[in-house]
Amino acid sequence: MTTDRIEESPAHRYQAGLAEGELRFQRCEHCQAAVFFPRVVCPHCGGTELSWTRSEGTGTVYSTTTTRSRSGDRNVALIDLDEGFRMMCTVRAEAGRDVAIGDRVAAIIGAGTTPETLAFERLAAQ
């Protein structure tokens, strides 16, 4: 019997994590690379054994922009998570200060009023 049938899609496993309050990513069992977006093959080594891990949700802004539209301004950022993967997300606005490259940020899950269930907010300077 082959055992590599996809029983739960990578997308569903990821979204189920958010619904349970977790930001999930994958690690390759073969090369240990952090993998995001979720998938069934490791893009670093071609390995097919990927395990799911909970991210601490802390990271650094790699790049950021404010996209303007009639419905309002919106931050779009790329975040480098501390575990070694990158993702797009929104960093919440803070009065009087723009989001900047290099800002330390933390994930907020499930608390958004925006369509997505995940956003980031700036961590207070240590």
Partner 1 sequence: MSAGLRGTVSIVGVAESDLGRVAEGTTSLDLAAQAAGRAAADAGIGLHEIDAVFCATSHYAMSGLELAEYLGIRPTYSDSSNIGGASFVSHVLHAAAAITAGLCTTALIAYGSTQLSDGGKLVTASLPNLYETPYGPRYPVTMYALAAARHMYEFGTTREQLAEVAVAARQWATITPNAFRSEPLTIEDVLSARMVSDPLTVADCCLVTDGGGAVILTSTARARDLRRPAVPVLGVGEAHWHRSISEMPSLTRTAAADSGARAFAMAGVSPSDIDVVELYDAFTINVPLFLEDLGFCEKGEGGPFVSGGRIAPGGELPVNTNGGGLSYTHPGMYGIFLLVEATRQLRGEAGERQIPGADVALVHGNGAVLSGQATAVLGTLDAL
Residues lying near partner 1 in the complex (CB under 8 A) are found at: 11, 36-37, 62-69, 74, 76-78, 86-90, 101-102, 115-116
Residue 94 CA to residue 58 CA, distance in Å, equals 18
Q: Which residue lies nearer to partner 1 by CB, 27 or 118? A: 118
Minimum separation from the CB atom of position 46 to partner 1 (A): 16
Q: Which residue lies nearer to partner 1 by CB, 3 or 46? A: 46
Residue 23's nearest CA partner among 102, 81, 103 is: 81
Q: Which residue lies nearer to partner 1 by CB, 5 or 70? A: 70
Cβ atoms of 17 and 57 within 8 Å: the answer is no
Residue 99 CA to residue 115 CA, distance in Å, equals 20
Minimum separation from the CB atom of position 21 to partner 1 (A): 17
